[in-house]
Chain A
């Protein structure tokens, strides 16, 4: 068992191989073959994660740092050492389990959902690739590896959101625009992460979370009784991976890092020591204290998380990302990718715990996001868009939890949310599938409706809730699993969401009461999150009533059928988990402790996360939250039940009532977030780039400059050189020489008169000259 960590490179390798196979040979395999390859890869990765979980449980939660074979070092420069290193600890295993588990189910679901698509193999290749990158993100032992995964999942989200980029009627264009939007906003977040990495490296001269052999959950200078890494020699065996192990299996060793030099520690150890020593860091001409640097780093990390985890102000990509296939939405935007930001913040809990300012900001942003998204969700008609805003809202919950210091609560909520949100998305996918099938049936086999025109020719949106209704009887499995997911999301006892949401609320309450910093943040978080929980319950039940209850409002809904087994089985599995996964972290409450143990998840997580601590169960708070949620659900049933919705010309009742009409309209308009961004950023950018491209580059540079200056100038020079210079000067010179010769010879030829006498005179003259020349010395000399 102690060698299980050596399997960890497989968890990245197997999905990569699956992607590779599907990329190059997927076209030759059948649909069945492609889906088998991909799902098998994903399931094997899940198996490895389970094995690693078994290892950790068995070995006393000892973290392991593994160097993958054949990748000896990555960046090796004098003073810079960033290796390919994989980390096996409870946090990373948790993430691995969630990612691969939910991912495998979604692979299975996709095999049915994407049936008949022309780029079937590519889809699965992308999915496996996404899985591989996400796992790189969560198992990396240094910030740079995490960033590799960060970027990789950003790439895969772009590829998958814009998967149907060539659909007709402008839909393909809309899809690719959504993908582009996701990429750009993620990029802004990536800037934050990069700045955080740079600052971290500058400050600590390393990017490793914890070096091999370092104790992770020890405060600086303290000796704890916690289980920790054995600081044994991490020797590299030949061709294999290096594992630091406790040589006596299972033995609890008291160790700390006191004997390790500061520059041999990872970033968190160094940060703790530097904070304790009130060190200063030189940044440019300034000397800044370590807490300022930590605040800066965490603020940049927050920017990154805002991009990846869809917080204010960068969340607008997530609703548009629903343009991708529904399983993609389920995997990425519900369960895994968007949680990368939360993972980053929880991994850097040492930083955040020592940056109170950032934590306050985080809290405010998280709470704000939860409220804003929840508000917008209740004005949406698209079934997936509601879920998207719901995701954003829940992410706000998680981020707010990080802000108030409830790191384990954040991860707990992450885990539960993964299951019920994936369930809800897959369920909505099933609904959409059924609606499409029903539409197809109605168009071809059904009679004309009462309006007398063929329904097939009208534009039909299978995702619009106004076209649904009464699907409870048509798609029972989908209905019941969807109800499970809704109850879990709303936080109804004893579903999963109740426990995780309550833990967050309790942490905020306690932070507000007893926290040594950010007290006000705790209270704000409590109030806001309660309101957001109410909103969540309201819009989710609104959705259930509108979609499943009442009578079918269209022919399509009338002819909808249940989806195939390959789609419904993952729904059932996820519904099961939505009910029971909450029990992994039951607090000390009534009987649950004796059945499921007490705070087992927090205990488990605290082996890796230093600041994860148990939260005392607040029964009163839980009761208030439950009451708020139930009340909201009943209210929604009242307003939207019995087809009250959309009977009146497809209008929302809230829209019709004058008190709530402007609020609803504002929510339906998505609070003009996208419009504002367009006005503030996109449009000026487009105008500027259009100006630069059309006017500056093309009209000025290519046309005017080239024509006037270059072409004309060249022509002028050429003409000048051609005519006056070449013809005039050079030809003139050459011809002039000829003319000169001719002129001279014309003059000279008159010497040849032809008369003998002239020649005789000339000879005589010459003779005289010669004689003079000969006699000259005689005249001068003798005299």
Chain B
């Protein structure tokens, strides 16, 4: 292994942080969702790095699972956004605060 696992993890960290910023700063719901996907990808990267580091395929499998779950989540989440858009004609998450206390 020429490239150390730490490098991959750092890269994953940066991508993850970018994803976090996107989640927190974006008002478009779909953009928020995409930032979440970015975060998931960063996590996948870290997982794969560690799988190689330890020589176990468990990491790969976990990435597989994450991808599966992300797919399911995206399907449902986008369906939600579509439903919300139908009623509110906007996907600005700042307008979705009916459940406030």
- A and B in direct contact, judged by CB atoms within 8 A: yes
- Contact between B101 and A749, CB atoms less than 8 A apart: yes
Q: Determine if A757 is an interface residue (Cβ-Cβ < 8 Å).
A: yes
- Contact between B97 and A760, CB atoms less than 8 A apart: no
Within A236-276, which residues are at the interface with B (CB < 8 Å)? none
- Contact between B98 and A754, CB atoms less than 8 A apart: yes
Within B66-101, which residues are at the interface with A (CB < 8 Å)? 93-94, 96-101
Within A736-771, which residues are at the interface with B (CB < 8 Å)? 748-757, 760-761, 764
- In the bound assembly, the distance between CA atoms of A366 and B97 in angstroms comes to 121
Residues A752 and B101 in contact in the complex (CB < 8 Å), given A760-B23, A760-B24, A764-B20: yes
Within A169-189, which residues are at the interface with B (CB < 8 Å)? none
A754's partner among B23, B29, B96 (CB-CB below 8 A) is B96
B96's partner among A748, A749, A756, A760 (CB-CB below 8 A) is A756
Q: A766 to chain B: closest CB distance in Å?
A: 13
B93's partner among A748, A757, A761 (CB-CB below 8 A) is A757
Inter-chain contacts of A755 with B (CB < 8 A): 93-94, 96-97, 100
- Contact between B24 and A754, CB atoms less than 8 A apart: no
Q: B31 to chain A: closest CB distance in Å?
A: 12
Residue ID in chain B nearest A755 by CB atoms: B97
Q: A772 to chain B: closest CB distance in Å?
A: 15
Most buried by B among A751, A753, A760: A760
Q: A756 to chain B: closest CB distance in Å?
A: 5
- In the bound assembly, the distance between CA atoms of A751 and B99 in angstroms comes to 11
- In the bound assembly, the distance between CA atoms of A299 and B94 in angstroms comes to 119
- Contact between B99 and A757, CB atoms less than 8 A apart: no
Inter-chain contacts of B101 with A (CB < 8 A): 748-754
Residues A761 and B100 in contact in the complex (CB < 8 Å), given A755-B93, A755-B94, A756-B93: no
> Could you say which interface size class chain A belongs to?
10 to 19
- Contact between B20 and A753, CB atoms less than 8 A apart: no
Q: Determine if B49 is an interface residue (Cβ-Cβ < 8 Å).
A: no
- In the bound assembly, the distance between CA atoms of A750 and B97 in angstroms comes to 12
Inter-chain contacts of B98 with A (CB < 8 A): 754
Residue ID in chain A nearest B29 by CB atoms: A756
- In the bound assembly, the distance between CA atoms of A761 and B97 in angstroms comes to 15
Q: A302 to chain B: closest CB distance in Å?
A: 105
Q: Determine if B38 is an interface residue (Cβ-Cβ < 8 Å).
A: no
- In the bound assembly, the distance between CA atoms of A675 and B94 in angstroms comes to 113
Inter-chain contacts of A764 with B (CB < 8 A): 20, 23-24
- In the bound assembly, the distance between CA atoms of A764 and B24 in angstroms comes to 9
Inter-chain contacts of A757 with B (CB < 8 A): 23-25, 93-94
Inter-chain contacts of B96 with A (CB < 8 A): 754-756
> Could you say which interface size class chain B belongs to?
10 to 19
A-B contact count (CB 8 A): 37
Inter-chain contacts of A750 with B (CB < 8 A): 101
Q: B49 to chain A: closest CB distance in Å?
A: 18
Query: When each residue 54-73 of chain B gets 1 if its CB lies under 8 Å from chain A and 0 otherwise, what string results?
Result: 00000000000000000000
Inter-chain contacts of A756 with B (CB < 8 A): 29, 32, 93, 96
Residue ID in chain A nearest B26 by CB atoms: A757
Q: B83 to chain A: closest CB distance in Å?
A: 15
- In the bound assembly, the distance between CA atoms of A757 and B36 in angstroms comes to 13
- In the bound assembly, the distance between CA atoms of A760 and B99 in angstroms comes to 15
Residue ID in chain B nearest A752 by CB atoms: B101
User: What DSSP secondary structure best describes chain B's contact surface?
Assistant: helix
- In the bound assembly, the distance between CA atoms of A754 and B96 in angstroms comes to 7
Inter-chain contacts of A761 with B (CB < 8 A): 24
- In the bound assembly, the distance between CA atoms of A749 and B98 in angstroms comes to 13
Q: B70 to chain A: closest CB distance in Å?
A: 17
- In the bound assembly, the distance between CA atoms of A753 and B99 in angstroms comes to 8
Most buried by B among A750, A757, A761: A757
Query: When each residue 151-168 of chain A gets 1 if its CB lies under 8 Å from chain B and 0 otherwise, what string results?
Result: 000000000000000000
- Contact between B99 and A754, CB atoms less than 8 A apart: yes
Inter-chain contacts of A749 with B (CB < 8 A): 101
Q: A558 to chain B: closest CB distance in Å?
A: 120
Residue ID in chain A nearest B25 by CB atoms: A757
Q: B15 to chain A: closest CB distance in Å?
A: 15
Q: B10 to chain A: closest CB distance in Å?
A: 15
Query: When each residue 7-43 of chain B gets 1 if its CB lies under 8 Å from chain A and 0 otherwise, what string results?
Result: 0000000000000100111000100100000000000
Q: B96 to chain A: closest CB distance in Å?
A: 7
- Contact between B100 and A752, CB atoms less than 8 A apart: yes
- Contact between B99 and A752, CB atoms less than 8 A apart: yes
Inter-chain contacts of B100 with A (CB < 8 A): 752-755
- In the bound assembly, the distance between CA atoms of A498 and B35 in angstroms comes to 151
Residue ID in chain A nearest B96 by CB atoms: A756
Residue ID in chain B nearest A751 by CB atoms: B101
- Contact between A754 and B20, CB atoms less than 8 A apart: no
Q: B85 to chain A: closest CB distance in Å?
A: 15
Inter-chain contacts of A751 with B (CB < 8 A): 101
Inter-chain contacts of B20 with A (CB < 8 A): 764
- In the bound assembly, the distance between CA atoms of A385 and B25 in angstroms comes to 129
- Contact between A753 and B24, CB atoms less than 8 A apart: no
- In the bound assembly, the distance between CA atoms of A209 and B101 in angstroms comes to 107
- In the bound assembly, the distance between CA atoms of A383 and B6 in angstroms comes to 145
Residue ID in chain A nearest B27 by CB atoms: A757
Residue ID in chain A nearest B100 by CB atoms: A754
Residue ID in chain A nearest B32 by CB atoms: A756
- In the bound assembly, the distance between CA atoms of A754 and B97 in angstroms comes to 4
Q: B29 to chain A: closest CB distance in Å?
A: 8
Inter-chain contacts of A753 with B (CB < 8 A): 97, 100-101
Inter-chain contacts of A748 with B (CB < 8 A): 101
Residue ID in chain B nearest A748 by CB atoms: B101
- In the bound assembly, the distance between CA atoms of A749 and B101 in angstroms comes to 5
Inter-chain contacts of B25 with A (CB < 8 A): 757
- In the bound assembly, the distance between CA atoms of A760 and B96 in angstroms comes to 14
- In the bound assembly, the distance between CA atoms of A751 and B101 in angstroms comes to 7
Q: A759 to chain B: closest CB distance in Å?
A: 10
Inter-chain contacts of B93 with A (CB < 8 A): 755-757
Q: B72 to chain A: closest CB distance in Å?
A: 20
Residue ID in chain A nearest B97 by CB atoms: A754
- In the bound assembly, the distance between CA atoms of A761 and B101 in angstroms comes to 17
- In the bound assembly, the distance between CA atoms of A608 and B72 in angstroms comes to 135
- In the bound assembly, the distance between CA atoms of A749 and B97 in angstroms comes to 13
- In the bound assembly, the distance between CA atoms of A752 and B97 in angstroms comes to 9
Q: B95 to chain A: closest CB distance in Å?
A: 10
Inter-chain contacts of B99 with A (CB < 8 A): 752, 754
Within A330-347, which residues are at the interface with B (CB < 8 Å)? none
Q: A261 to chain B: closest CB distance in Å?
A: 109
Residue ID in chain B nearest A749 by CB atoms: B101
Q: B84 to chain A: closest CB distance in Å?
A: 11
- In the bound assembly, the distance between CA atoms of A381 and B99 in angstroms comes to 117
- In the bound assembly, the distance between CA atoms of A755 and B32 in angstroms comes to 13
Q: B20 to chain A: closest CB distance in Å?
A: 6
Most buried by B among A749, A754, A761: A754
Within A569-585, which residues are at the interface with B (CB < 8 Å)? none
Q: A337 to chain B: closest CB distance in Å?
A: 103
- In the bound assembly, the distance between CA atoms of A754 and B101 in angstroms comes to 7
- In the bound assembly, the distance between CA atoms of A760 and B94 in angstroms comes to 13
Q: B98 to chain A: closest CB distance in Å?
A: 6
Q: Which A residues lie at the B interface, using CB under 8 A?
A: 748-757, 760-761, 764
User: Would you list the 8 A-B pairs with minimal beta carbon distance, nearest first?
Assistant: A754-B97, A754-B100, A749-B101, A752-B101, A756-B93, A760-B23, A754-B99, A755-B97
What are 19 residue pairs bridging A and B, where the CB atoms are less than 8 Å apart in the complex? A748-B101, A749-B101, A750-B101, A751-B101, A752-B99, A752-B101, A753-B97, A754-B98, A755-B100, A756-B29, A756-B32, A756-B93, A756-B96, A757-B24, A757-B93, A757-B94, A761-B24, A764-B23, A764-B24
Supply 12 further A-B pairs (C-beta < 8 A) apart from A754-B98, A761-B24, A764-B23: A752-B99, A752-B101, A755-B93, A755-B96, A755-B97, A755-B100, A757-B24, A757-B93, A760-B23, A760-B24, A760-B32, A764-B20
